[in-house]
Structure 1
Amino acid sequence: MTSIPFTNVGAIFWDMDGTLADSEPLHLRSLIDALAHHGIEADETLHPLILGKTGREVHALCRERFGIRVDYAEWARFRARCYLVASRSLVPREGALDVYGAAREAGLRQAIVSNASRMLLEANLRALGIEDPQLVSVSVNDVRRGKPDPEPYVRAAWLLGVDAREVVVVEDSPTGVQAAVAAGMRVIAWAPDGTDAASFDASAHVVYSAAALAHALGLDIRSRESTSLRRL
């Protein structure tokens, strides 16, 4: 067996949207619905343009691209309502909770670091069933600058009391990877199928499956996968 890429892992910091949760389609749907509310037709071709961006950045993009004039507060409230209704059907990314659970059982400290608002982040945590009073999480409401700025990851390390060099970050977007690298952390880019590895920072370790992610972290998820299959 090949060697484990990451050793001396003190903590794992997870991105939420697209990494732990298969929520990108819900965010895209809320955007399409918001644009439709203002008489603008849009489709899935917007997705690459919004991947990893904050709500404010997406609003600015829509103002420039489509000429919408609604202010950010009203825009964000409408999108949030759309997303919260859809979040009832939210599912985890395939295999993500197996790796998350294996890390918890191994005694590794974990945190969630998201570019989403606190309200939407909490909705995702509830939908995935991983709410925990002890869980450290950072939303875009908790920082002055979201990803790709390193501040969200720096704050999570401070809250958890760990050195950046102990942390391995799991991200799915180039924006998130950039933030983690700038924070001085090691990064695993769990890329969506079909994503070119060259789109990520060269220092990131790119994987395409939960099994490869678990191996990179030195975790065994085979027994958890078997248990999940028996429950189906």
Structure 2
Amino acid sequence: MNTSKSFVAGLAAISLVTVSGCVTDPNTGEQKISRTAIGGVGGAAAGALLGGLIGGKTGRIIGAVGGGAVGGVVGYRMDQQIRELREQTAGSGVDVSEVDGAILVNLPDGVTFATGSSAITPGFQRLLDNVAASLVQYPNSLVDVYGHTDTVGSTSSNQTLSERRAQAVSNYLVSRGVNSARIRWAGFGETQLKVPTGDNVNEPMNRRVEVKIIPLTQAEIDAAR
């Protein structure tokens, strides 16, 4: 069992994953098949997290509120955080977008890790510092970190590498002051390609880390308290 900071902190959270391998989408209540292990424990994942979170939502809010790092921000607007993140990462190749009511920060190949490595480079640190600062400034959200690879190399090695990279990013954000109770991570290996290709030309588009920021409403925070 993986004992990363994100997973240890997540022991207090209540998982919505059932023994049958289904996970409840917190937005729709729909049951979806998930092969993702909660909190970054190894294993491939089904591509069904677009509308949900790793390990569900309710228990994670309880854990984050208990850590004292989640609270309402007066006048908070998601578009404001998106605009600031875009300004802070301008010219870096990082893409910041809104997806299904969440903020998706796409950290592509070239600004993340060296080939085959999960060590965070100085240049990548500067980008993650901006992301961490935003998360600290806007604490009323949960954070998922997803690691993805291309299809070069073996499936098993790609899966492992994606997990190590997602864990490294999560741990770095925590080291910069983001409450670990808010963060979960998962590696997807080569199961969620942006460009289905094996030509080694467009493959770099598949090598990426995504940070998904899921805003919480004041009602959700109050209910957890």
TM-score (normalizing by structure 2):
0.28
Larger radius of gyration, structure 1 or 2?
1
More strand by share: 2
TM (norm. structure 1) is: 0.28
